[in-house]
Structure 1
Amino acid sequence: MATEDKDLTEVQQRTNRQLTLFESILRKGPYSGMMALDALMPKYFYGKATRTEDGHLKSLERVFDFEGQPCKLIVDPARVTETRGKYKGQRVEFYMGTREENVYDALLKLAKEGQGKILDDQFGVVFSLNQIIAELKNHGHTINYKDLIKSLKILRGTSITFKSPTVEFMESPLLSLGLPNSKNPKSAYVRFNSLVDGALKNKSLRLYNYQLAMGMGTLARKLLKLISYDPNGANLDRPYEFRLVPFLSMSGYAINQKLKRNVQLLDSAVEELKIAELVQRWDCEQIKEGRKIIDYKYKVWPSEKFRRELVRIQKAQNDGSRWIAIQVAGPPTKVSE
């Protein structure tokens, strides 16, 4: 699956023009980059996991649509040595959850602030554990050293198998993880998987307002990312439309048979965007099959504030892509007469 992890002292580090220029674009605002499929696929688990007596978990199998294509995701949980509680000292399986999602987004944020590197020809980031702890604390998320190391190991050890009509791959969210040790007591590093690496090299990383997103609940953050990804999200003349069941499936949430609890969750998420003055109004309508309610259709009208934000994001995205393309290709050659 993934290559064997190395100590940071053994990893070849370099930067390149695309990485440097992309970082300079991102530094202009409260943005971070996301690879859309990597950011939006339902790879996280929210809720209480049901274990067997020896600490095992079932693989997660999830079906969702992405860009109009049916997709299947299989998430095999990571095996990590537990340091406390009932399973202390044992190798126990863990899903990636809210904490791992926060850590992962913080890693990408540090990568865009000048700490991103090409590590053994793969996009990654060199950081200290204190930086991640401080970054999460700045956005109201508390984590200690033991839990941070555990989350990094869960991100490293999780296996994701993705299948669509056109693409199939199996990888971990992190291809490599190097933690501080006696040779290198201060720095850690990770290498991101081929989705994120490819998005950087192909200039297809999408921007979103990281500062706003990290202060939001899970569903509100997902919705913010989804609207930011949509090139038509900044259109005030029409609402952003989505359906409850596909959205929750893409977000990794279980669908309640009566849907009422799911509606309450999503209503709260949309209201969170409204409180943040990103949404001016919204409504939802029932979708029925006979007398049975099978789904809900949501319509969300972005506020003028959010529209301006999305326009800035799209402009930065377009300017950055043009700038990177020009710098990589070099200036145009003057044709002599």
Structure 2
Amino acid sequence: MPKSNNSKKTPPTEPIKSLQYDLFAHFITNDQVDTSNAVEVWESIPKYFFSPQQIKKLRTESGLAEPYKWNYTYDGIPCMVKIQPALIEQTDGSYKAFFPSITEELIEEALKKILTDQQYGLHDPQSTETWVRFSLSMLEKELTARGRSRNKNQIKHAIEVMSSCIITLYKNNKELWKGSILQDLVTVGREEYLADANSYHIARLPLFISHAIDKLNYRQFNYARLMSCNDQLTRWIYKQLIHRYKQASYSNDYHFMFSSLECNSGLLQQGRAIDNRKKVLRALDELKERQIIHTYDIDNRKEGRSIVDVKYTIKPTQDFIKEQKAANKRMTNNLHQATPQMKRLNKK
């Protein structure tokens, strides 16, 4: 995992030639428009699990809120994320606290897709910085095309939340990284920003993404399929399959536990355990509907009459198998092309 770097940055004034970025922007697929990249270490951090009802409960009467902490595990290592909400000024001059939620999740996915277009992305391997250029109109158009329409005011609000909330990541109780989802946001003057939805803005993406580009630690996936998923939990499980079920085949199934999903996603916070288990089943059914998994089996683990955990075993569809094979081939090709350069850099 990359270390924290909170110093103020400014975007490079000229394009930078980078083999790593060239590889990041090129996919092995017949559908470039519908393909994007997933970065496991960054996306494993639970940060978009807040519902409007939960946010309302976390606010004080004055509209403010304290940072929220969530414990989870990554590769068996105890981790914790602390999310300090964005304080956004309201029309009456007061401030209200906002945590990142569904809209911010979808906009991040749209920005990572935009990043793969080399006229809008910039990666500097020397300083491990990655920048993405965008406009509110671009994001509105992209979200609408993917069936996730948001108006410009909603997008503008989400960008403010993503650039103003502070995420602190702890690993084994030690602070590892601290920053915002969109860092060092550069815009035109505030009045122009609010008035002109076509003005370009540029933001530095978290160090996790830059580090992944440098080290080739990302996977291509079906971005259109992800954005078609209605439920957050469906999208979370799909991302886990992308990263963890690399050798998907008819003869090789994949399983995960309810307890792990509950801990690591942050998305199972219904009042009753039975309601959380029903939510998982709805997500699995949607994965079938989206042609990601073919079948799934449930193994309830009981103590007496009580269900204490559930094991879910899935089998993939032919579409998912093909997509994972393409992702594996691309990873092999990328390593073959980049290894000589990476060896030279490591010797310096």
Give the TM-score, by structure 2 length. Answer: 0.84
Which shifted more, 106-115 or 142-151? Answer: 142-151
Q: Does the 8 Å contact 1:3/1:175 carry over to 2?
A: no
> Alignment partner for residue 139 of structure 2, among 117, 120, 132?
132
1:280 matches 2:294:
yes
CA positional deviation for 1:296: 1.4
Q: State the partner residue of 2:305.
A: 291
> Alignment partner for residue 309 of structure 1, among 323, 328, 337?
323
Distance 1:297 1:257 in 2: 21
Q: State the partner residue of 1:103.
A: 107
Provide the identity percentage: 22
1:146 matches 2:150:
no
Which shifted more, 230-239 or 35-44? Answer: 230-239
CA positional deviation for 1:228: 0.6
Q: State the partner residue of 1:230.
A: 244
Which shifted more, 157-166 or 268-277? Answer: 157-166
One-letter code of the match for 1:31? Answer: T
- Shift of the 13–43 alpha-carbon distance from structure 1 to 2, 3 Å rule, reads farther
Deviations 1:51-98 (A, max 9, x none): 111111232211112112221111111112234xxxx43221100000
Q: State the partner residue of 2:226.
A: 213
Distance 1:254 1:196 in 2: 26
Distance 1:215 1:199 in 2: 25
> Alignment partner for residue 241 of structure 1, among 255, 260, 266?
255
CA RMSD of aligned residues (A): 2.5
Q: Secondary structure at the match of 1:253?
A: coil
Which shifted more, 65-74 or 319-328? Answer: 319-328
Distance 2:320 2:29 in 1: 20
Q: State the partner residue of 1:300.
A: 314
Q: State the partner residue of 1:91.
A: 95
Which shifted more, 271-280 or 233-242? Answer: 233-242
Give the TM-score, by structure 1 length. Answer: 0.87
Distance 2:29 2:40 in 1: 20
> Alignment partner for residue 188 of structure 1, among 201, 207, 231?
201
CA positional deviation for 1:17: 2.5
Distance 1:203 1:211 in 2: 22
**Which consecutive unaligned segments of at least 5 residues does structure 1 have?**
331-337
Q: Secondary structure at the match of 1:74?
A: strand
CA positional deviation for 1:233: 4.6
1:43 matches 2:43:
no
Deviations 1:27-48 (A, max 9, x none): 8633211221211221113321
Distance 2:293 2:341 in 1: 37
- Shift of the 108–326 alpha-carbon distance from structure 1 to 2, 3 Å rule, reads same
Distance 2:99 2:240 in 1: 23
Q: Does the 8 Å contact 1:33/1:207 carry over to 2?
A: yes
Q: Secondary structure at the match of 2:210?
A: helix
Q: Does the 8 Å contact 2:64/2:95 carry over to 1?
A: no
> Alignment partner for residue 117 of structure 1, among 119, 122, 126?
122
Q: Secondary structure at the match of 1:25?
A: coil
- Shift of the 21–327 alpha-carbon distance from structure 1 to 2, 3 Å rule, reads farther
Distance 1:53 1:73 in 2: 25
Distance 1:67 1:58 in 2: 29
**Which consecutive unaligned segments of at least 5 residues does structure 2 have?**
none
Distance 2:283 2:128 in 1: 39
Q: Does the 8 Å contact 1:5/1:177 carry over to 2?
A: no
CA positional deviation for 1:239: 2.0
Pairs aligned (count): 323
Q: Does the 8 Å contact 1:178/1:188 carry over to 2?
A: yes
Q: State the partner residue of 1:250.
A: 264
Distance 1:188 1:121 in 2: 20
1:77 matches 2:81:
no
Q: State the partner residue of 2:275.
A: 261
CA positional deviation for 1:223: 1.2
CA positional deviation for 1:294: 1.9
Q: Does the 8 Å contact 2:49/2:101 carry over to 1?
A: yes
